[in-house]
């Protein structure tokens, strides 16, 4: 497994997804490893799993196929990629190609190269699958739907540690995400200020986003507990102690935080721009336009006042165990091995 070289310089959902996938596969007896391409060669492995089709990752798939290796890719295509945008991107790609004598590639062509050089594609849900098919004209038979998983500790989360940390038993709105405009915490702070609801934030804030964090913390109802390790007991405790979890990002694919909150028994308000399959969860999730403060606040109030059984909330995501996810990944690798062994390698760079 590998992705862009700077990925693990920060902490986020994709990093967690990769590490948890490795761990779950290892528990099934699969020799899954995170590759260091500076010292390890792709040919030391039987199957290459690429995470994300941006940030130059198409070169991983291209090299792997040139070496004759089967490739599985988790594209993480966002929902704005639809049939119309795909057609426009192909038109732009042809125009750029003709103007530069095909010496410059657009992002669309780089994404498409990664998709085309993959034997199996792993979509996190049906919405992402549709984006891959509609925008990039990939045959549906090439795509398997495998969701993110949820560690068991979130299903048995206890609010005590969070209440001790916050020095309060009062409820609050929770947001756990990297602190930046894409995750949209400032809009959430403005929305919750209208109702004087306490807002608790957790997540990494890079130095470049410090001024954004300062704008958020100017609101007296906001508490920032900082960056938390994924194995920190405070993380599931915060979910369990919150009245509602709110993630009003500009867009998401399949945010782990949403699933983790439901596993802890806490309902969710989330951006409507995502690729999640909400079947079985709709009683516990409200979707909002990320830049509409009143809609965010109304959704928080609506779901907070709903009579929700926390056990039912947890049951809605019980199917997302890492064991079942690892089984589906293992099956995809086996299939890719069979397909890769029966196909010819593609010359590098085509």
Segment 167-226, tens digit of pLDDT: 999 999 999 999 999 999 999 999 999 999 999 999 999 999 999 999 999 999 999 999
The tally of CA atoms less than 13 A away on the side-chain side of residue 73 is 31
- Hey, what's the torsion of the CAs at 291, 297, 299, 302, to 10 degrees? -170
Residues in the chain with pLDDT values less than 50:
345-350
Q: How far apart are CA 330 and CA 347, in angstroms?
A: 27
pLDDT of residue 321: 87
Architecture (CATH level 2) of domain 152-315:
3-Layer(aba) Sandwich (3.40)
How do the domains of the chain map onto residue ranges? 7-149+322-342, 152-315
Our CA angle for 34, 35, 36, nearest 5°, is 125
CB-based contact 300:189 (threshold 8 Å): no
Which pLDDT score is estimated for 342?
63
7-149+322-342: CATH class:
alpha beta
pLDDT of residue 13: 87
For the chain, give percent helix, strand, coil, nearest 5. 45, 10, 45
As a whole number of angstroms, the distance between CA 257 and CA 247 comes to 8
CA–CA distance, 33 with 107 (Å, rounded to integer): 28
């Amino acid at each position: 497994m590998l992705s862009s070289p700077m990925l693990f310089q920060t902490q986020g959902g994709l990093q967690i997804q990769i590490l948890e996938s490795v761990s779950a596969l290892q528990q099934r007896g699969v020799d899954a490893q995170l590759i260091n391409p500076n010292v390890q060669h792709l040919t030391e492995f039987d199957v290459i799993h690429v995470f994300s089709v941006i940030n130059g990752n198409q070169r991983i798939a291209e090299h792997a196929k040139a070496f004759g290796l089967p490739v599985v890719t988790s594209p993480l295509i966002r929902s704005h990629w639809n049939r119309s945008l795909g057609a426009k991107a192909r038109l732009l790609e042809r125009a750029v190609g003709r103007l530069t004598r095909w010496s410059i590639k657009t992002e669309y062509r780089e994404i498409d190269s990664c998709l085309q050089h993959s034997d199996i594609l792993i979509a996190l849900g049906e919405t992402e699958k549709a984006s891959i098919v509609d925008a990039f004209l990939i045959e549906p038979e090439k795509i398997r739907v495998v969701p993110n998983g949820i560690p068991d500790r979130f299903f048995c989360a206890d609010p005590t540690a969070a209440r001790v940390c916050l020095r309060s038993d009062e409820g609050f709105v929770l947001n756990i995400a990297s602190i930046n405009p894409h995750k949209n915490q400032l809009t959430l702070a403005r929305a919750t200020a209208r109702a004087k609801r306490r807002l608790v934030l957790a997540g990494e804030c890079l130095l470049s986003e410090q001024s954004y964090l300062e704008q958020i913390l100017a609101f007296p109802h906001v508490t920032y507990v900082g960056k938390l390790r994924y194995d920190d007991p405070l993380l599931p405790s915060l979910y369990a102690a919150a009245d509602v979890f709110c993630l009003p990002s500009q867009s998401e694919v399949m945010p782990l935080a949403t699933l983790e909150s439901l596993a802890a028994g806490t309902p969710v308000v989330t951006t409507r721009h995502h690729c999640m399959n909400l079947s079985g969860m709709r009683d516990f999730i409200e979707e909002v336009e990320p830049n509409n403060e009143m809609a965010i606040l109304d959704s928080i109030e609506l779901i907070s006042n709903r009579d929700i059984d926390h056990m039912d909330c947890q049951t809605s995501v019980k199917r997302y165990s890492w064991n079942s996810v690892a089984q589906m990944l293992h099956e995809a690798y086996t299939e890719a091995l069979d397909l890769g062994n029966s196909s010819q390698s593609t010359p590098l760079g085509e």
